[in-house]
Amino acid sequence: MGRLLFWIALISVAFWLWRRFNRPARPRPKADEATPMVRCAHCGVHVPREHALQQNQQWFCSQAHLEQGTKHGER
């Protein structure tokens, strides 16, 4: 019985290793392809530029903040 379990374990490990090394490599995102971020003129949260809303030279994180405009007392 011990020999049978040994062979099953050995074949399982060999199969796992074979599958692991024969898979195509997943493309990894490169560090130089970072998403540009912009700061919301109302709340200051940084969001990806592709998701932000722009009005004039200012960026906003949501439609509500765009409608409210720049927060007073902003530096």
Q: What is the pLDDT along the chain (75 residues), one digit of tens a residue?
A: 889 999 999 999 999 999 888 887 777 766 667 789 999 999 999 999 999 999 988 999 999 999 988 875 554
Where in the chain are the domains? 37-75
Interatomic CA distance for residues 37 and 61, integer angstroms: 11
SS3 33: helix
Q: Give the pTM.
A: 0.52
